[in-house]
Amino acid sequence: MLTAAVLFLAGTLSGCMAAPVPPNTAPPVAKATAAPAEAPPIFASNDEALAAAEAAYAAYEALSDSITADGGTGGDRIEPAASPKYLPDLLDSFVGFSKTGFISRGSSTFDNVSLIRNSVEPRGGVSIELYLCSDISEVRLIDKTGADVTPAGRTNRTPLQVGFTSSAANPSLLLLDKEDVWSGRNFC
C-alpha cells in the first residue's frame, strides 16, 4: 500500500513540475532606436530667411558704396560680408575700380526682392538665393577734377540672382556668395 501511495503522490506531483523551456529559436529582433534628429532650421520661416538675406545684402551694399567712395581702396573692408569663395572676385573688382581714378557718390539700393531657395546645408549652415533689382541710379561717378563722369546711357536697374551662405559655426551670419545678372526676363 505504501508503494501505491508513493506512486500516486509521484504521479500527482509530476504534473506540478515546470516543463523544460525550449531553446529560443526565434531570429533576433533589432531594438527600435530613435531616428536621427534633423537639424532644426536656422530661420523659423522663409520670411525670416528673406529678411535676414535682405539685411545682409544691405550691409554688403553699404560696405561696397563706402569702398567705391574711397576710390576702391581698402577693398578688404568687404571681407565681413563676403564668403571666402566670392571674396577674391570682389577684391579684384575694387582693384579694377581703383585703376579708373574715379570715386563714387551716393548709395546703391535694391528692391523687388523674392526668395528662390532657403535650405540647410549638409555640412551645417544655410544656403539662400534671391532675385532682386539692384538700383544704382543715385550713384554718381566723379573723376579727379570733381567732374561727374557717370555715363549718360548706363543701365541703372539690373536684375540679379544673389546667393548667400553661412557656416555651421555661425549659421545665422549670411555671407554674400554670388551675384549673377539674371539672364531671363527683366523683372526690374
Amino acid (one-letter) located at 91? L
Counting the structural domains of the chain, the total is: 1
- The CATH code of the domain that includes 122 is 3.10.450.240
Is residue 21 domain-resident? no
- The grid coordinates listed for 18 are 515546470
Cβ proximity of 107 and 61 under 8 Å = yes
Please tell me the predicted confidence (pLDDT) of residue 62: 97
User: What phi and psi, each to the nearest 5 degrees, are found at residue 79?
Assistant: -50, -40
Is residue 35 domain-resident? no
Is residue 155 domain-resident? yes
**What is the average pLDDT across 28-57?**
73
The CA–CA distances, whole Å, from 39 to 4, 116, 135 equal: 77, 21, 37
Is residue 76 domain-resident? yes
Is residue 34 domain-resident? no
What digits encode the pLDDT tens for the residues 52-76?
Answer: 999 999 999 999 999 999 999 999 9
Please tell me the predicted confidence (pLDDT) of residue 44: 84
| Total length of the chain | 188
Domain range holding 114?
A: 42-181
Is residue 40 very low, low, confident or very high in pLDDT (cuts 50, 70, 90)?
low
State the pTM of this model. 0.77
Residue at grid coordinates 531594438: 31
**Helix or strand run (H / E) with residue 63:** helix 46-69
Alpha carbons 39 and 27: distance in angstroms, whole number: 35
Positive or negative CA dihedral for 105, 106, 107, 110?
negative
Alpha carbons 126 and 58: distance in angstroms, whole number: 19
Is residue 9 domain-resident? no
**What is the average pLDDT across 136-151?**
96
Alpha carbons 56 and 45: distance in angstroms, whole number: 17
Is residue 23 domain-resident? no
Alpha carbons 113 and 164: distance in angstroms, whole number: 14
User: What phi and psi, each to the nearest 5 degrees, are found at residue 65?
Assistant: -60, -40
